[in-house]
Structure 1
Amino acid sequence: MTSDTSLTGKHALVTGGGTGIGLAIAHALAQHGAQVTITGRRQEVLDAVAGDGLWGAAMDVRDEASVDTVVNAAVAARGPIQICVPNAGIAEGRALHKTKLEFWRNMMSTNLDGAFLTIRACLPGMRETDWGRVIAVSSIAGLRGLPGGAAYSASKHGLIGLIRSLSEDYMGQPYTFNALCPGYVDTPIVDRNQVAIAERTGMSTEDARQVMIDSNRHKRLIDADEVAAAALWLVGPGSQSINGQCIQISGGQTA
């Protein structure tokens, strides 16, 4: 992007910002001038990537007090959060008849409750400013059913419903709410899932990885920087009319 898209003076918060998609988005925002608070459950992971515009703060998105405390501290240190990226999430598959309530609730608490708590904590400061962007990281599983992933798909569908409703609540105001819906991205989550799929099905880890690759329409894993580029577009000039949208990043039509 060109220099006229500078985010200098903007404060961004990215949950799950220590690895994968979250880290790619955090780096992209920082490279364009934003001060970025990255959160995750392990401080040592955040410390390893902090610097160059990134500040790490351990936070559990499932815990209301943790979210409110960290967001308030970040606002006190770096000003109102005008770019909120609820990205933290877990992606695990399990057949419904093997899904215990504990598994279901942890999925919802992380992927959906965590986004709700994060956005809610960031909004008061954002609403005191004249500009704001909320970019939730959902999934193509938020737009269509994912075989073997009922809990995950339900959580991501719920996240899209939250974003669409918020876009209506703040219609006409200088804040937009959008969701990024990537297919399988080349991150540690894919590495973990290929092992889980192999164990569950008996196939090799290479074949399990190929299943995920083949699920993307262009038959390759997506690079995290491709998702970050979409996030930059949503915070760039001319993005003010992109609101309540689900941006598919999956190599083709998927829903």
Structure 2
Amino acid sequence: MRRVLVTGGGTGIGKAIAHAFADAGDAVTITGRRQDVLEAAAEGRAITPKVADVTDEAQVAALFDAPYDVVIANAGGGAQAKIRDLSLEDWTATLTVNMTGTFLVFREALKGMTAGGRLIAIASTAALKGNPSVPAYVAAKHGVLGLVRAVSLDVAKAGITCNAICPGFTDTDLADTAITGLMSRFDVDRDKATKMVTSANPQGRLIDPSEVAATALFLASEGAASINGHALSVSGGEV
């Protein structure tokens, strides 16, 4: 039985990934900052909830009481603001949770990870292209992908892989926030705002979190042993 760690595992993509690995028979640990949310996500499955802030070095270290076979750095987020309106506080917070959080988790994971181990970062199509509405998020996710590419070369000879999954707009609270924001900004209904959010996806829809989870399962499989340093776009052809 593999040991799997999913950061930001209480909601959205992280929750879907945690459920997929648990349903596959793995021993899953999820982390986040809210105990009640983690417990709700873990209910009914072999999932262990642990409160931790991925931007805190000591809290991340405490998660690794034993090595994990698969580590998925999913925790992230960022404020929506064009650069002229972006505060230094929001810029720093976005880079810290996405880039520093992934760095701390991966660094700690590699202290005990052995051959066959898998490091997976949940990035975004924002790691592959620009978006003027979220410059801090774009910069942070580009940084995450850069880290993945560097780490993949470092761990290759140890039999470990490091990859990124880059979803388009996914049916989570983050997408709902974007949709609600467009409704308010342009005075349109939810259907119109949803079409605006999904317009970059040639399939014209939000990605389902289960699709990202299935991609993570694949990258953690034996069949993906030669996939390393890759950014796998799950976006309907957006990128």
Q: Calculate the TM-score normalised by the size of structure 1.
A: 0.89
Offset, 1:201: 4.4
- C-alpha distance 200-117 of structure 1, shift in aligned 2 (>3 A): farther
Partner residue, 2:182: 197
Partner residue, 1:178: 163
Partner residue, 2:234: 249
Offset, 1:92: 3.1
Aligned residue-pair number = 238
Q: 5+ residue gaps in structure 1? A: 1-8
Partner residue, 1:55: 48
2:76 counterpart SS class: coil
Structure 1: how far apart are the matches of 2:130 and 2:107? 28
Partner residue, 2:110: 123
- C-alpha distance 59-101 of structure 1, shift in aligned 2 (>3 A): same
Is residue 17 from structure 1 mapped to residue 4 from structure 2 by the alignment? no
Partner residue, 1:83: 70
2:222 counterpart SS class: coil
1:57 counterpart letter in structure 2: K
Partner residue, 2:154: 169
Q: 5+ residue gaps in structure 2? A: none
Structure 1: how far apart are the matches of 2:53 and 2:89? 17
Conserved? CA contact 2:169–2:235, under 8 Å: yes
2:119 counterpart SS class: strand
Deviations 1:113-151 (A, max 9, x none): 11111111111111xx33200010000010000131111
Structure 2: how far apart are the matches of 1:92 and 1:21? 18
1:119 counterpart letter in structure 2: F
Is residue 232 from structure 1 mapped to residue 224 from structure 2 by the alignment? no
Q: Which moved more, 1:143-152 or 1:44-53?
A: 44-53
The one of 142, 145, 148 equivalent to 2:127 is 142
Matches within 5 A, 1:69-108: 69=62, 71-72=63-64, 75=65, 79-108=66-95
Conserved? CA contact 2:78–2:136, under 8 Å: no
Conserved? CA contact 1:12–1:84, under 8 Å: yes
Structure 2: how far apart are the matches of 1:195 and 1:19? 19
Structure 2: how far apart are the matches of 1:244 and 1:90? 22
1:90 counterpart SS class: coil
Structure 2: how far apart are the matches of 1:123 and 1:200? 45
Conserved? CA contact 1:91–1:189, under 8 Å: no
Structure 2: how far apart are the matches of 1:238 and 1:95? 41
Offset, 1:203: 4.0
Structure 2: how far apart are the matches of 1:206 and 1:93? 21
1:170 counterpart SS class: helix
2:58 counterpart SS class: helix
1:33 counterpart SS class: coil
Conserved? CA contact 1:142–1:160, under 8 Å: yes
Conserved? CA contact 1:15–1:85, under 8 Å: yes
1:33 counterpart letter in structure 2: G
2:156 counterpart SS class: coil
Partner residue, 1:65: 58
Partner residue, 2:22: 30
Deviations 1:14-41 (A, max 9, x none): 0010111111111111111111110011
1:90 counterpart letter in structure 2: G
1:125 counterpart SS class: coil
Identity percentage over the alignment?
A: 43
Structure 2: how far apart are the matches of 1:207 and 1:54? 38
Conserved? CA contact 2:4–2:68, under 8 Å: yes
Deviations 1:154-187 (A, max 9, x none): 0000000000000111122210000000101111
